[in-house]
Structure 1
C-alpha cells in the first residue's frame, strides 16, 4: 500500500494532494457539498489524509497539511456566514430535499440553544459544520463573535483529526491512543447532536408544534 501511495504521489505530486484535501474541506462548507458528501469532506477525509502523511512523512508534511486544513475550514465557514448574512433566509429555503430541510430546522434550534458554542461544536457534527455558519449569518450573530468561534472550532477540528490520523499510521506505540481519541471525538459529536435534539424536544410548545423557521437573533 505504501509503495502504491508513493507511486501515486510521484505522478500527481504532493502539491496536488494538499490542494485536493484543502479544496474538499473548503467546498464542504462554502458550497454545501458537505450536506450530500459528508464523508468526502469531513472527518473521514482528514483522518485518511493524516494516515497518508504518516505513511509518507518525507513527501507529505503533517504540519503543512494540518495548517492548510485549518485555514480551508475557517475560509469555508466564512463564506457560509457571509452568504447567510447577505442573502438571508432565501439562501437556505432554496435548498431542496426533505432531509436537508429537516437538518436546517434542527441546526436553527441548535444555534438558538448554544449560540457561540454552536459554531465550535458544530464543526464536529456533519450537518452542523455546513449549516451553522449561514444560520449564524442569518441570525445576526456579530461578526467578531462568529470569527472567534470559527477559528477555535475549525482550527481544533482540522488539526486534531488530521494529526490523529498521522499518529495512527506513523507510530505504533501511540496508535491505540490515536484511535481512542478519534473514538472520543466521534462519540462527543454524537452526544452533542443528541443533547441538542433532547433540548429541542423539551422546548417544544405544549401543542406539539415543531421549531419555528426563524433562527434566534444572536449578537
Structure 2
C-alpha cells in the first residue's frame, strides 16, 4: 500500500500531512491498524521532508503526527472502557480478527502499563493495546502519560530515521522500496508473536478456560 501511497503524498504537498494524520489516527482510533502502514508511512514522511517535498519543516510534521497518534490511542482507550466486552465478542470479519485482539491482550498482560509504550513499535498489537488498557481499567492519567511517551518516541524515532536517510541520494531515489523494507522489518516482531501465540493455543490443555481480563496496578 505504501508504494501506491507515496506518489499520492508527493502530489499533495503540505496537505499530505493531514492525510498522514488521518491514517495514524485510524490505526488505533478506528481499530484498523492491520490495514494502514503506520511505520512505513512515518519513514516515508521523513524521507520526503528531508528532500523538501512536503514544503513543511520537520517539527511541524512531527507535531501533527504525534498528536494524531496520541488522539487515536485515547479514542481506543475510551472504546475499551465503554465497549470492551462487545469488541472482543464481535464475530470474525475482514475488519476484525479475534486473534489480533488476543495477542494484544497477552502483550498487555506480559508487560503491564509499559505495553502502551512498547506496543507503539509492534504493528497490529498497537491497534488493540489501548482497547485492552481501557478494558483493564488502567487509570486515565497513567494511560495518558504512557500514551504521550509512546506516541512521541514512535513519531520522532521513525520520522528521524527517514529524515536522516532521506539525505542519502540512493534512498531518496528509491523511497518506495525502502519503505516496503521498513514494513517487512516492522512485521518481524508481530510474526514471531503470532507464531508463539498459535503454538501456545495448539498445545493440549486439560481444562479450557475463558481468558481473564488483564489487570493493571494503580
Is the contact made by 1:109 and 1:211 (CA closer than 8 Å) also made in structure 2? no
Look up the match of 1:29.
28
Look up the match of 2:104.
107
Matches within 5 A, 1:121-160: 121-160=118-157
Q: TM (normalized to structure 1)? A: 0.76
Look up the match of 2:63.
67
Is 1:86 aligned to 2:82, yes or no? yes
Is 1:120 aligned to 2:117, yes or no? yes
In 2 relative to 1, CA 8–201 (structure 1 residues): closer, same or farther, beyond 3 Å? Answer: closer
Q: How far off its partner does 1:131 sit?
A: 0.4
Q: RMSD between aligned alpha carbons? A: 3.5
Q: How far off its partner does 1:22 sit?
A: 0.9
| Deviations, residues 172-193 of structure 1 (Å, cap 9, x unaligned) | 6xx9xxx9xx97xx47x74587
Q: Which moved more, 1:87-96 or 1:149-158?
A: 87-96
In 2 relative to 1, CA 210–153 (structure 1 residues): closer, same or farther, beyond 3 Å? Answer: farther
Q: Distance in 2 between matches of 1:69 and 1:91?
A: 26
Q: Distance in 1 between matches of 2:204 and 2:10?
A: 59
Q: Distance in 1 between matches of 2:64 and 2:125?
A: 21
Task: Give the count of matched residue pairs.
Answer: 202
Is the contact made by 1:109 and 1:215 (CA closer than 8 Å) also made in structure 2? no
In 2 relative to 1, CA 90–207 (structure 1 residues): closer, same or farther, beyond 3 Å? Answer: same
Q: How far off its partner does 1:68 sit?
A: 1.1
In 2 relative to 1, CA 143–8 (structure 1 residues): closer, same or farther, beyond 3 Å? Answer: closer
Q: TM (normalized to structure 2)? A: 0.76
Q: How far off its partner does 1:196 sit?
A: 9.0
Q: How far off its partner does 1:150 sit?
A: 0.8
Q: How far off its partner does 1:38 sit?
A: 3.4
Q: How far off its partner does 1:45 sit?
A: 0.6
| Deviations, residues 134-153 of structure 1 (Å, cap 9, x unaligned) | 01101111112211111111
**Structure 1 residue ranges without an equivalent (≥5):** none
